[in-house]
Amino acid sequence: MDQTDANEKWATPSGPPEIAAAPRVRFTPPPPAWEPAYAPLGTRAKALVIDLLLALAVVVPLAVLSDGISSSNGLLRIKLSAPPLLLATVLWMAYMTLMEGKYGASLGKRVTGLLVVTEDGLPIDLEAALIRNVLRFLDAVPYVVPYLLGVIVANRSPLKQRFGDRVAETIVVSHVAAEQPEGPAPYERPVP
């Protein structure tokens, strides 16, 4: 086929052949993958100690109200009966669940710069916060050496999750690293 036959084949009745322009497609590359900075277990332990000290602010008044504080031979004894202890436990669980579910961190975690998020890096909801905190009692086994099981499980986890985090599908990360990077600006064609 020679050049004139090719031109006649693509020619329109009204004039010269049309040249089809390639469609222009704007491609915006996906944002970079989020890589969390898992919180070190030592920092998580500091956050827990701060939260437990805050819990003492509830336990001591409950002990006073139930006549559970006594002093003999210069020693201070705090003894809690079942109802005040149960009330203190429920209040502490409510505090941890509400703070993590609404704000992503308890006061202890905020002070130490930690944040609880889902495995995808999104904020957790109240349900996930409740699950991870209810299962805290399993992670705290044996109670003579608190959180020994939780530390062992978190050390063996690639995401540094204790048992409650695994069930709730949450992770604890450093607050600064928890902010996901913004995606790149859309591609702009340079002006000639």
Q: 30-84, pLDDT tens digit by residue?
A: 877 778 899 999 999 999 999 999 888 887 787 777 776 666 666 777 676 777 7
The values of phi and psi at residue 32, to 5°, are -60, 150
CA distance 31 to 137: 39
Give me the phi and psi of 189, to 5 degrees please.
-75, 135
What confidence score (pLDDT) does residue 18 get?
62
Residue 96 lies in a domain: yes
pTM: predicted TM-score of the whole model, two decimal places: 0.68
pLDDT the model gives residue 187: 37
pLDDT number for residue 96: 95
CA distance 27 to 147: 49
192 within a domain of the structure (yes/no) = no
* Domain annotation covers residue 13: no
Residues whose CB is less than 8 angstroms from the CB of residue 52 and which lie 6 or more positions away in sequence, other chains included:
none
The pLDDT of residue 22 is above 70: no
Q: Mind listing the pLDDT tens digit for each residue in 180-189?
A: 444 444 434 3
Assigned domain for 186 exists: no
Q: How many domains does the chain have?
A: 1
Q: Which range marks the domain in which residue 91 is found?
A: 41-178
Residue 171, classified by CB atoms within 10 Å of its CB into exposed (0-12), middle (13-18) or buried (19+), is buried
- For residue 34, the model assigns a pLDDT of 73
Please name the helix (run of DSSP H) or strand (run of DSSP E) that holds residue 5, with its range, or none.
Answer: helix 3-10
Q: What's the confidence (pLDDT) of residue 105?
A: 96
- Is 15 a domain residue? no
Residue 191 lies in a domain: no
Q: Is residue 16 a part of any domain in this protein?
A: no
Residue 173 lies in a domain: yes
